Structure 1
């Protein structure tokens, strides 16, 4: 059996220079809703293990639900724990996002957690893991790196200061900006549009792309999506399933209780 391809890496390599890959955050921790979103025309979907009530098992269920569809799955770990990273890789995660990366040393440790010895410390589970199709992928241990992708999140002033070391770490494929955490860490709570925050975001973008790596960002507001697309980000999260459901539910309830103009109510 062939080594499973990393669809996200393939899409990044194949995309037009001026057209980012658009994605959606999955925070409902449910395979059924993940499959619904997978039928939309997103390039990638992020299964959130940091702020959603996910476990390794619920993440596995969502990977299975998304797999038949074109959208490339990404899994975000809750932390840097190499034991958890091992489990996420073993269940078939091929693109891993890790939050709060602040130094080159942390980035290198994450790379090591994703690689087998002698290049890393990933525990060997050959023959009993979904990633190698339970022993059906020949030489999986020596070829696994070809199917893996590591995205490091820069979400603090320290991370911005050290982004050159992070982006230039061998084994890091992309750097993703978290505007909410970054603005909060910089003292501009709830204001990622602040000039200082925007300057830091531009710096991360420039340094990351200068290192030959892809740069991504979360931008559910359309004005931000447009701004970051024009800036040249390679992949952008434009939606969050939790927010989309909440927004639609609020609008529906308001429409039928008279909270919206009659013209709006009639369009449902």
Structure 2
């Protein structure tokens, strides 16, 4: 089981690393955990994945001792309630662009008095073994609620979004952000880097956590120098592809003519 929650690690000033899981197989979750990552983000936005598979991936993360976070799709109410009841220890909601949206996310993901998450005595309170009122307190304390900022509109609204109680962290989405600036996939351009720096500055003012997605080691070093504690280092399928391609090229390069 998970020794420390992601929140607890951050509260202890640990630097934590995560990876997007885009290959929906429990074995891959176990590989990510065995590699030493602190958390895994199960991607339900961009992958072909069903609810039963998400639940199995969460169980795999629990067994392997890595914190399972789920990036939900746009069907906010259905998705947030389901994945938290399945056992996700946190959620990432993409394309947050207003204070009202952030408040709705909190309402759906937090129990009273912080929100109005629908009550359910399922697997997380052990089907009634843990009193539901006890679990409500534990869930509010341990679950991480993360808003993803991926557009100019979201960036412009971030000052208000970051003031919403119950939003724990902000994660940058430089890829879609670059597209909203009219420069698709130029994630290391000056415009995008200035925008992500602005995100960080706002989160600092309002005492929210910030999750960076460094595309190169220099970015990682720069963010660490600013005190960022949480990093996502890409996704599993990209890493598998690059490793497989590089390894094959290294062997082919050694072949005799």
TM-score (ref. length: structure 1):
0.87
Deviation at 1:6, TM superposition (A): 6.6
Match of 2:123 in 1: 130
| Pairing 1:24–2:19 present | yes
**Matched pairs, number:** 253
2:127 alignment partner, SS class: coil
Q: 1:151 to 1:33 in 2, by over 3 A?
A: same
Deviation at 1:212, TM superposition (A): 0.9
Matches within 5 A, 1:232-251: 232-251=227-246
Task: Name structure 2 gaps, 5 residues minimum.
Answer: none
Q: Distance in 2 between matches of 1:240 and 1:66?
A: 16
Distance 2:152 2:239 in 1: 30
Quote how far apart the aligned CAs of 1:249 are. 1.5
> 1:93, CA displacement in angstroms?
1.1
Q: Which runs of 5+ in 1 are unaligned?
A: none
Shift of residue 33 of structure 1? 1.1
Q: What's the C-alpha RMSD, in Å, of the aligned pairs?
A: 2.1
Are residues 1:252 and 2:241 paired?
Answer: no
| 1:177 partnered with 2:172 | yes
| Aligned residues of 2:147 and 2:170 also touching (Cα < 8 A) | yes
Of 70, 80, 86, the residue aligned with 2:81 is: 86
3-state SS of the aligned residue for 1:131?
coil
Structure 1 partner of 2:11: 13
CA distance in 2, matches of 1:43, 1:124: 29
Superposed, 1:1-268 pairs within 5 Å as 7-16=5-14, 20-116=15-111, 119-126=114-121, 129-138=122-131, 139-140=133-134, 142-143=136-137, 144-256=139-251, 258=252, 260=253, 262=254
On the 8 A contact 1:6/1:95 being kept in 2, the answer is no
Q: What SS does the aligned partner of 1:212 have?
A: coil
Partner SS state of residue 75, structure 1: strand
Matches of 2:3 and 2:114, distance apart in 1:
21
Deviations 1:48-86 (A, max 9, x none): 111122222111111111113343221111125212211
TM-score (normalizing by structure 2): 0.90
Checking the alignment, whether the CA contact within 8 Å between 2:110 and 2:166 is kept in structure 1 is no
Q: Following TM superposition, by how much is the alpha carbon of 1:142 offset from its aligned partner in structure 2, in angstroms?
A: 3.9
- Give the Cα separation in 1 of the matches to 2:219 and 2:141: 33
Taking a change above 3 Å as real, the CA distance of residues 39 and 5 of structure 1, as seen in their structure-2 partners, is closer
The SS at the match of 2:233 is strand
